[in-house]
């Protein structure tokens, strides 16, 4: 699979902990790309803190952005409290939109044993049945979810359970988080024996894995991640809503209560002998670290912002919402870096600030990356890329709407997909397709109307619409796969898509009771009581399904 700029975004998001030490600028007297990565370098990064802004622009002028910090976490997390005894890792992960899809696209669905798109072993309410395949946990969570993950090792199960309860309580009282349990699993020799029937010697006495769904809104999860960051750096120039309003966004916090414990654990898993884990080798190059360490990051994938008339891009103003009247400064006492990944079709004419003479900035034309050692620059109005106008195609948008927004089993919705040329030049061979709902739910839905459309030329200001109707048999949340758009401009074919939409079909208790009478039940005391009891049971069942895990999205 050929990697693209969005894949680069995912790589950075997933590998941020490793990306910072190897690509962040050294101190003001060293090279922008650190060539001498020694123990002191690692120690200074973690002890003093580091922050990075990574941006990537694709060939259509759509951005991907990651902002993250590495270093000692906020005292508000209380990582030194006894409740973290045995906890080697705590992670808070929040995603919105199709961010997870990019991750799966990068690593391949086979890694998660996704072989049938979630419509085989996983039978949720909208398929008219029950049951749950653990391999489809991502299908159950859908595209918008927040998770808390904690790992305890080498402590008694009762200790792990008690400490996890204390951590949840602290996150609830200190950060207003609420949780519902997804996984509470202990892995030890007894557990392995129950699976295999064999006694296996493990390099640990037991591991406790806890996974909780954070039931707070996505915005709360993102802001909680940003709140634990050092406020002295880039974050003071960022509008947080860029991470909560984008069509695909996410945030994460990885907290390690004691780096020494984690290093010992990784070394133990190395198993001795001639086998060396990559993580063990990396940690062996670091100083003898003790105490808490955290990494926090937020990012998004946005829609097209650069078009035919664009000739510059301001990293903080255009991508991170910085007001034009404010300035940008790096983190106090730590290391700050700004990096921009450029598409092949962008002809860069300059960038600012620029100070290659002092080795504070660097542009690699081969890898198409611009680096700024932001620690060397104070009170910057912005970090700017200048390029030749006409680099990007006209601004053509695609959107999908539903009327009504929700319905009941047996009801329907009218789906409209609109393509709009907001640019100043025409585009050719425009085609739009949105035909996956019937394929994904062959028994549960009926579709009428056109799910495809095309036009030879779409002039500036013109629209192309397709409209179709979907009827739903069962309740549940139905995932509408992205609607696809393709068009030609200057002999080049471009493509876009909507995000994944979840459409909710909910049962109507009052309508259910009315329907039971309308279907001919006589108004006798006995049968009337039976009808009332049936309605109560149905309402209770629906409430239990929602209270016990919600309506599943696939």
Q: What is the pLDDT of residues 354-365, one digit of tens each?
A: 999 988 898 988
3-state secondary structure of 144: coil
Per-residue pLDDT, averaged over 298-327, amounts to 93
> What pLDDT sits at residue 261?
64
Contacts with 406 (C-beta within 8 Å, 6 or more apart), sequence order: 503, 504, 505, 506
Give 202-257 pLDDT, tens digit per residue.
777 888 988 888 888 888 888 888 887 888 899 999 999 999 888 778 888 888 88
> What pLDDT sits at residue 315?
97
509-539: buried (b, 16+ CB within 10 Å) or exposed (e) per residue?
eeebbeebeeeeeeeeeeeeeebeeebeeee
Question: Residue 6: enclosing H or E segment and its boundaries?
Answer: helix 5-14
183 compared with 84, residue with greater pLDDT:
84
When mean pLDDT is compared across 192-201, 274-283, 347-356, the lowest value belongs to 274-283
CA distances from 303 to 127, 374, 467 (A): 33, 27, 23
CATH of domain 396-505: 2.60.40.10
476 compared with 388, residue with greater pLDDT:
388
Dist. CA 224–CA 261, nearest whole Å: 26
- The gap from C-alpha 12 to its chain's centroid, in whole angstroms, comes to 12
Give 104-163 pLDDT, tens digit per residue.
443 333 333 333 343 333 223 333 333 333 334 444 344 566 888 898 989 999 999 999
407 DSSP 8-state letter:
B
251 DSSP 8-state letter:
E
Phi, psi of 222 (to 5 degrees): -65, -45
Q: Which two tokens stand for residue 419?
A: 């393509």
When mean pLDDT is compared across 40-54, 261-275, 424-438, the lowest value belongs to 261-275
Edge-to-edge strand ranges of the sheet holding 484-489:
452-458, 427-433, 484-489, 492-497
Question: Residue 145: enclosing H or E segment and its boundaries?
Answer: strand 145-153
Instruction: Provide the pLDDT confidence category of residue 72 given band limits of 50, 70 and 90.
Output: low
> What pLDDT sits at residue 299?
86
468 compared with 27, residue with greater pLDDT:
468
Edge-to-edge strand ranges of the sheet holding 312-314:
312-314, 384-387, 348-352
CB 386 within 8 A of CB 341: no
Give 471-528 pLDDT, tens digit per residue.
999 888 788 888 999 999 988 999 998 877 878 888 765 554 444 444 443 333 333 3
Dist. CA 337–CA 286, nearest whole Å: 21
> What pLDDT sits at residue 47?
58
The answer on pLDDT for 384 being more than 90 is yes
Per-residue pLDDT, averaged over 7-18, amounts to 34
- Give the dihedral sign, CA 383/388/390/391: negative
**Highest mean pLDDT range out of 20-29, 287-296, 457-466?**
457-466
Burial class (CB in 10 A: 0-12, 13-18, 19+), 218: buried
When mean pLDDT is compared across 59-63, 108-112, 180-184, 267-271, the lowest value belongs to 108-112
Beta-carbon neighbour count of residue 134 at 10 Å?
A: 10
> What pLDDT sits at residue 503?
87
Question: Residue 373: enclosing H or E segment and its boundaries?
Answer: strand 369-373
Percent pLDDT > 70 in the chain is 67
- Alpha-helical segments (H) within 30-141: 39-48, 99-107, 137-141
CA distances from 368 to 4, 148, 281, 346, 469 (A): 12, 36, 30, 9, 45
Residue with tokens 């009581």: 529
Give 79-93 pLDDT, tens digit per residue.
889 999 999 888 888
Domain ranges of the chain: 1-71+299-392, 396-505, 509-547
> What pLDDT sits at residue 294?
76
Instruction: Provide the pLDDT confidence category of residue 54 given band limits of 50, 70 and 90.
Output: confident
Give 329-350 pLDDT, tens digit per residue.
998 878 888 999 899 889 999 9
Distance spanning both ends of the chain, measured CA to CA: 26
Instruction: Provide the pLDDT confidence category of residue 176 given band limits of 50, 70 and 90.
Output: confident
């Amino acid at each position: 699979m050929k990697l693209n700029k969005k894949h680069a975004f995912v790589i950075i998001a997933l590998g941020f902990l490793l990306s910072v030490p190897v690509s962040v600028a050294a101190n003001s007297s060293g090279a922008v790309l650190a060539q001498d990565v020694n123990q002191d370098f690692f120690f200074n990064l973690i002890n003093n803190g580091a922050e990075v802004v990574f941006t990537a622009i694709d060939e259509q002028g759509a951005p991907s952005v990651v902002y993250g910090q590495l270093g000692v976490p906020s005292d508000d997390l209380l990582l030194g409290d006894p409740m973290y005894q045995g906890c080697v890792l705590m992670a808070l992960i929040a995603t919105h939109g199709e961010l997870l899809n990019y991750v799966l696209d990068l690593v391949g669905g086979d890694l998660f044993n996704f072989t049938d798109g979630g419509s085989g072993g996983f039978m949720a309410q909208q398929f008219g049945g029950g049951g749950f395949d653990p391999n489809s946990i991502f299908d159950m969570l859908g595209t918008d979810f927040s998770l808390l993950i904690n790992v305890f090792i080498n402590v008694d199960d009762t200790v792990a359970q008690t400490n996890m309860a204390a951590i949840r309580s602290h996150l609830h009282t200190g950060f207003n988080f609420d949780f519902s349990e997804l996984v509470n699993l202990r892995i030890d020799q007894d557990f392995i024996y129950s699976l295999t029937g064999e006694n296996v010697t493990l390099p640990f006495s037991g591991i406790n894995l806890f996974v909780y769904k954070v039931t707070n809104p996505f915005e709360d999860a993102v802001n909680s991640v940003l709140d634990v960051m050092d406020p002295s750096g880039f974050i003071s120039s960022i509008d947080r809503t860029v991470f909560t309003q984008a069509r695909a966004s996410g945030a994460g916090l990885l907290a390690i209560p004691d780096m020494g414990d984690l290093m010992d654990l990784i070394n133990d898993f190395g198993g001795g002998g001639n086998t060396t884990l990559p993580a063990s080798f990396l940690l062996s190059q670091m100083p003898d670290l003790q105490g808490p360490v955290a990494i926090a990051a937020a990012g998004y994938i946005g829609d097209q912002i650069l078009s035919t008339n664009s000739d510059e891009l301001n990293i903080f103003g255009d991508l991170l919402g910085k007001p034009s009247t404010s300035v940008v400064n790096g983190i106090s006492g730590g290391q700050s870096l700004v990096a921009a990944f450029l598409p092949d079709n962008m002809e860069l004419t300059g960038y600012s600030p620029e100070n290659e003479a002092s080795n504070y900035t660097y542009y690699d034309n081969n890898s198409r990356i611009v680096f700024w050692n932001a620690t060397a620059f104070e009170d910057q109005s912005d970090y700017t890329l200048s390029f030749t106008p006409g680099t990007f195609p006209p601004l053509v948008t695609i959107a999908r709407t539903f009327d009504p927004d929700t319905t009941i089993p047996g009801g329907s919705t009218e789906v409209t997909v609109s393509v709009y040329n907001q640019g100043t030049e025409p585009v050719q061979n425009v085609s739009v397709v949105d035909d996956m709902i019937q394929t994904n739910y062959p028994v549960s839905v009926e579709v009428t109307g056109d799910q495809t459309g095309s036009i030879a030329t779409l002039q500036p200001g013109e629209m192309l619409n397709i409209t179709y109707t979907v009827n739903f048999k069962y309740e549940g949340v139905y995932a509408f796969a992205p609607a696809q758009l393709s068009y030609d401009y200057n002999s080049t074919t471009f493509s876009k898509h909507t995000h994944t939409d979840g459409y909710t079909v909910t049962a109507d208790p009052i309508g259910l009771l009315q329907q039971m009478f309308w279907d001919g039940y006589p108004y006798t005391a006995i049968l009337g009581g039976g009808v009332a009891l049936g309605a109560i049971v149905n309402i209770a069942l629906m409430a239990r399904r929602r209270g016990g895990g919600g309506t599943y999205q696939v």
